[in-house]
Amino acid sequence: MRSSRLLRPLLCAAVLLPIAPALADFTLIDDFEELVPGGLDGQNAWTAGVEYSVVSDPADGSNQVLQYIAGLQAGAYRALAENAVPDGESGTLFARFRFDQTGNANFGFSDVAAPAAYNDFEAQINRQNGTVLKGRDGTGFQDFAPIVDGVDVWYKLWLVADNESDSSRVYVQSDEDPAYAAQTELSVPDGTMNFRFGTSEALATLMLRSQEGTAFWDDFYVSPGTDLSEPPHRVLGEAFQITEFYYFPGLSAELTWSAVPGHEYAIDKSGDLTAWIATAETVVATGDSAGAELFDDDISTDSGRLFYRVRDLGVAAGP
């Protein structure tokens, strides 16, 4: 029957409209999509040195990210406001990062409103002059094992800060580094990554501080408690497209699109690109490489042409 597709003119609008994702706990701090390319300072409540700017992702020109570029030691920070981690409680920072092998890049939580020195970190992730990702453990750093090769590879990182025991746990996953295909906890020899000093204050500030080298970040989120779920983020090489379309006049239509596994999609249709009606069901994408699909047999609005649009609702709510 599929040979009968497109018997008469019918257009399929390949439109992806991101809207506020349905998140259980993670709150987006910044994915840099709404910011103006150029200096970060002053945008979306950020305070930053001139070394920090909003640029195109070197791996995906349609994505905007935060870049630190070679320079003097400089910081960037942003108040977490209602997403601060109170003393005595835990919170999780999610971020994606991509570091080169030179210089010294750091990010994490601070209990200082306007951090101005490395000593203002409490929970701190570090990479300096090599491919070893490090974590702050009291007065020094611990090398995580195994070694992370951070060259030109995007990693996802979960920094779980326990502001009761004043210690951290760190988890990493990467779709581009086979060593971290699965989410992996990075451990230190004595099992505990202590805060830099320990604090009886809230972890109220997202803090970055770097010197020399080049570093990129994207998709900062914070969640209360320990949250190892994956908030919505850019997926390399997954530009949206409608990959198949079948149309049976007066009967049904079927469309398939590239999809991020676990995301929920809403599909609307229109006869004139002005009045849109939602199809009956949303679709949750599985890990199927074929993407996600909708079968629509309610085409009573069919007047000779139909447009469909697909909206990404973000990670589907759990059961």
297 near Ca ion (CB under 5 A)? no
What x-and-dash track marks residues 68-107 binding Ca ion by CB under 5 A? -------------------x--------------------
- Tally helices (H) and strands (E) across the chain: 0, 24
**Among 197-205, 208-216, 279-287, 297-305, the segment contacting Ca ion (CB under 5 A):** 197-205
Number of residues that bind Ca ion (CB under 5 A): 12
Tokens of 187: 């451990």
Pairing of β 90-99 and β 104-110: unpaired
Contact present, 294 and 241 (Cβ < 8 Å): no
The amino acid occupying position 280 is A
190 near Ca ion (CB under 5 A)? yes
SS3 197: coil
List beta partners, residue 311. Answer: 266
163 near Ca ion (CB under 5 A)? yes
Cα three-residue angle 123-126-130, rounded to 5 degrees: 165
Whole-number Å distance between alpha carbons of 62 and 256: 22
**Among 77-85, 96-104, 133-141, 240-248, the segment contacting Ca ion (CB under 5 A):** 133-141
Q: In angstroms, give the least distance from the CB of 88 to Ca ion.
A: 6
Pairing of β 140-143 and β 74-79: unpaired
Contact present, 268 and 278 (Cβ < 8 Å): yes
User: Residue 25 contacts by C-beta under 8 Å, 6 or more apart in sequence?
Assistant: 223, 224, 225, 227, 229
Site for Ca ion in 203-262 (CB under 5 A): 218
CB nearer to Ca ion: give 87 or 254: 87
Q: In angstroms, give the least distance from the CB of 271 to Ca ion.
A: 34
Q: In angstroms, give the least distance from the CB of 186 to Ca ion.
A: 13
111 near Ca ion (CB under 5 A)? no
CB nearer to Ca ion: give 90 or 211: 90
Q: In angstroms, give the least distance from the CB of 111 to Ca ion.
A: 8
Contact present, 197 and 112 (Cβ < 8 Å): no
Query: Exactly one of 192, 229, 256, 282 binds Ca ion (CB under 5 A); which one?
Result: 192
31 near Ca ion (CB under 5 A)? yes
180 near Ca ion (CB under 5 A)? no
Task: Tell me which residues touch Ca ion (CB under 5 A).
Answer: 31-32, 63-64, 87, 137, 163, 166, 190, 192, 199, 218
